Structure 1
Amino acid sequence: MQENSWDSRQEPRVVRAVIMVAVFLLLAASGLMYVKWWPYFYKALTAANTGSIGKSILGDPSAHMGAPTWDDAVGYAKLYFKSVWKAAVLGILLGSLVQVLIPTRWLQRVLGKSNFASVVCGGAAALPGMMCTCCAAPIAVGLRRRNASVGAALAFWIGNPLLNPATLVFMAFVLSWKFVVLRIAFGALLTFGIGFIANRIMRDRDAVVPELPPAAAAAAQLESSSAPFLERWLRSLWSLLLHVVPAYLIVVLMLGALKVWLFPISVGSGVVMILLFALAGTLFVIPTAAEIPIIQSFLAAGIAVGPTTALLVTLPAISLPSLLMVMRSFPRKILLLLFGAVIAGGILCGVVGAVWI
């Protein structure tokens, strides 16, 4: 009798949790359908028919010379934000909603353990997102604030751009199957390998989530309280906006100005060029799939396959703005590991590409 009474008391909570998760999934699917899935379907048709998905966002490679200018900064920022603003808004909304709609215990069962299974689940959850690194970053922050493990949140974050199914389809039509194979191989290696190593590093720590700044800690405490849903959601949304957007805007402008130095074409075509492009690609910020026309334009300008293949991994994986977005939610040593691993993966991919393609 007592057991039945306990079940009856728990049933409303379970029903409420199921409804909240269903609402989140519905909102996520609707947003992705509008921002990603439907537009990418038509872009895939364009790629199949024309062998192109548009011009390089970096412009003509031969123009990458001279000194950085304010016009370069503003011009690139306009092109970039025009391409990503819908996905960026969706990423911030989902990053805030995951903190108030997904029950912490439910999320911890799937993504909260410091094992390889949670990393696989995080990487698998990234596949339908198809977001660039900056648009996926707010969701990764939201997952960390709900006690997702470091490895699972990392796999979700970098798996979005690296394992993007739409990008692989575009790449097959625009570049070649060899680029697709390299992207899948190195994308999977970085996504699941870094996640696994990060979880191993953090396994012996007492806390799953690093100490948050006072504002974020207060928001996290409110999210676990009995405050009204709207109040909890607005607090989580404001916290994300406060800690994500300013750095995002400033660094995109800075990188837009510095692109003339980051991607020169007069350095050469050997190992030095591979190293330079691997570092530049890791720092630079691009929209989803923009690496494809960038690589296409560099190849057309006579840049060797090695350096351009390094960009296949480094350009989409992370960027300086996305690292700044998540730095409050991930330990610094994990972010340094990620930064170094992406550069190393880009170098290795460039070397393999130079020999194989």
Structure 2
Amino acid sequence: MKTIAVKNRSPLIGPALLLTIAVCGLFYVKWFPYYNRAFVAASHHAIGNSILMGTASAPPAASWQAALSYAIAYGKAIWQAMVLGLLLGSAVQALIPARWIARALGQTGFGSVVTGAVMSLPGMMCTCCAAPVVAGLRACRATPGAAIAFWLGNTLLNPATLVFIGFVLGWQWMGLRLALGVAMVLGIGYLVDRAATDREAVAAQSAMEEMSTNGETGVMFVRWLKILARMTVRLVPEYIVLVLLMGAARAWLFPHIGPGIDASLAWVVAFALAGALFVIPTAGEVPIIQAMLALGMATAPAAALLLTLPPVSVPSVAMLGRSFSPRTLALTCAGVVAGGIVAGLIAMAIGL
């Protein structure tokens, strides 16, 4: 009788462990620090210096030192969240049955997209730290649209970032981000599902289709460690290299900030594209835009950055190159850039 009871409880061990890691990890890495930072934002109307250029009027010239200094600053800001992302992304594949993910996120249509967006809200991760979790969801048969909505929702719908934007930049900026963020997360996710082929509608790694916790607990943990090691070896090196390149390329993407950056369509498009390429930590767009506005840049290109800096970047797109088709990733990035351009046009129209 005792043996039977243990076997009946064993399928719950994996899900319970995943839930524990998610709650404890997010509380330590995200929820508690952001709770405290909200009071800083409210009292000081700032949450730190711009990681892009500090207190200067332009990023440093492209060099090995510029690349290294940015990579170190960025790494200090996100390393804990990246570790958590890898743990969760591998645990999703090893500790719970894939059919659970397929049931929640595996139906092509608007319902799965909304579910993916809602599931992203507690995560509050930057685009790169969310990427391993997205890869795990795709491996467990989440549809492209649902996985994309989860990915974009982590940044665009981050509740803490919305609070920071309100206290630091103004509540009209928060309203712009929230309204367009919801439209982008749900709209891009839905378009991705509509454009997906039958082959793209299932996860690329079909061999993981029936991962289950019904086996022995020891085997489950061994599987988790193997998946974690494989994800780490595959994702982290390319991630580091691309962050270094982005750190060096700051001077080319944002060569000058000041009154010369006016509210013209050309600058809105340029900054929307630059924002979609560059990589920042969670909420990094807030001090970046605050510093740019203080230097005299127009609000329209800043509004474009508000919508394109957080959700995608060259490193995060590369990290998901095996989870989505090139067409899906291109459509996602195009949707993000289009959202940034719309934000800039709205800022011009309402005089933000």
Q: What TM-score, normalized by structure 2, do the two folds share?
A: 0.92
The aligned counterpart of 2:335 is 341
Residues 310 and 222 from structure 1, CA distance in 2 versus in 1: closer, same or farther, beyond 3 angstroms? same
The answer to whether the 8 Å contact 2:97/2:211 transfers is no
Q: CA deviation at 1:101?
A: 1.3
Query: Which one-letter code corresponds to 2:167 in the other structure?
Result: F
Partner of 2:230: 239
- Aligned twin of 1:128: 122
Residue 310 of structure 2 is aligned to residue 316 of structure 1: yes
For the 8 Å contact 1:61–1:265, the answer to whether it is kept is no
Partner of 1:282: 276
Alignment of 1:250-265 (within 5 A): 250-265=241-256
Aligned to 1:137, which of 126, 131, 149? Answer: 131
Shift of 1:122: 0.5
* Alpha-carbon distance between aligned partners in 1 of 2:64 and 2:280, rounded to the nearest angstrom: 19
1:167-220: CA deviations, max 9, x gaps?
011111101111111111111111111111111222x505633544xxxx77x3
Which residue in the other structure is 1:104 paired with?
98
Secondary structure at the aligned position of 2:108 is classed as coil
Deviation at 1:145, TM superposition (A): 0.4
Larger CA deviation: 258-267 vs 291-300: 258-267
Quote the Cα distance in structure 1 between the aligned partners of 2:82 and 2:140. 21
For the residue of structure 2 that corresponds to 1:265, the secondary structure is coil
Identify the residue that residue 73 of structure 2 maps to in structure 1.
79
Residue in 2 aligned with 1:182?
176
Aligned to 1:54: 48
Measured after TM superposition, the shift of residue 115 of structure 1 is 1.3
The C-alpha deviation readout for 1:69-96, integer Å capped at 9, x for no partner, is 1111011111100000000110011000
> Tell me, what secondary structure is at the counterpart of 2:46?
coil
Structure 1, unmatched stretches of 5+, are: 1-9
| 1:63 pairs with 2:58 | yes
Alignment of 1:125-274 (within 5 A): 125-202=119-196, 205-206=198-199, 208-209=201-202, 211-212=204-205, 220=208, 223=211, 228-265=219-256, 268-269=261-262, 270-274=264-268
CA distance in structure 2 between the aligned counterparts of 1:302 and 1:38, rounded to whole angstroms: 34
1:112, 1:148 within 8 Å by CA — same for their partners in 2? Answer: yes
Please give the alpha-carbon distance, in whole angstroms, between the structure 2 residues aligned to 1:349 and 1:207. 30
Mapped to 1, the partners of 2:7 and 2:141 lie a distance apart of 20
Displacement after TM superposition at 1:18 (Å): 3.6
Q: Secondary structure at the match of 1:317?
A: coil
Q: CA deviation at 1:15?
A: 4.4
Q: In 2 relative to 1, CA 305–17 (structure 1 residues): closer, same or farther, beyond 3 Å?
A: same
Judge conservation of contact 1:244–1:325 (CA < 8 Å) in 2: yes
Structure 1 pair 206–81 and aligned structure 2 pair: CA distance change class (3 A) = closer
1 CA distance for matches of 2:141 and 2:290? 41
CA separation in 1, counterparts of 2:268 and 2:13?
50
The 1:264/1:355 distance shift into structure 2, 3 A limit, reads farther
Name the amino acid aligned to 2:26: L
Structure 2 CA distance, aligned partners of 1:196 and 1:78?
37
What's 2:27 paired with? 33
Answer yes or no: is the 8 Å Cα contact 2:166–2:173 preserved in 1.
Answer: yes
| Kept in 1: contact 2:143–2:203 (CA 8 A) | no
For the 8 Å contact 2:131–2:151, the answer to whether it is kept is: yes
Distance 1:152 1:127 in 2: 14
Q: Secondary structure at the match of 2:31?
A: helix
1:4 corresponding residue in structure 2: none
Matched residues, percent identical? 47
Q: Is the helix fraction higher in 1 or 2?
A: 1
Distance in 2 separating the partners of 1:116 and 1:173: 33
> Quick one: structure 1 residues 128 and 332, their matched pair in 2 at CA, closer, same or farther if it must change by over 3 Å?
same
Task: Output one character per residue of 1:250-307: Cα deviation in whole Å (capped at 9) or x when no partner.
Answer: 0100010110111123663222211111111000000000100000000000000011
Residue 13 of structure 1 and its aligned partner are, at CA, apart by: 7.4
Q: Which one-letter code corresponds to 1:277 in the other structure?
A: F
Hey, what's the Cα distance between the residues in 2 that align with 1:70 and 1:222? Answer: 46
TM-score (norm 1): 0.90
SS in 2 for 1:40: helix
Match of 1:307 in 2: 301
| Number of aligned positions between the proteins | 341
Q: What residue identity is the alignment partner of 1:33?
A: F
Q: For the aligned residues, what is the CA RMSD?
A: 2.1
Structure 1 residues 116 and 222, CA, compared in 2 at 3 Å: closer, same or farther?
A: closer
1:44–1:170 Cα contact (<8 Å) kept: yes
CA–CA distance in structure 1, aligned partners of residues 333 and 193 of structure 2: 16
Whether 2:112 is the aligned partner of 1:118: answer yes
Which consecutive unaligned segments of at least 5 residues does structure 2 have?
none
1:209·1:329 contact (CA, 8 Å) conserved in 2?
Answer: no
* 1:257 aligned partner, one-letter code: A
Once the two structures are TM-superposed, the CA of residue 36 in structure 1 deviates from its matched residue by 0.3
Task: Name the SS of the counterpart of 2:261 in structure 1.
Answer: coil
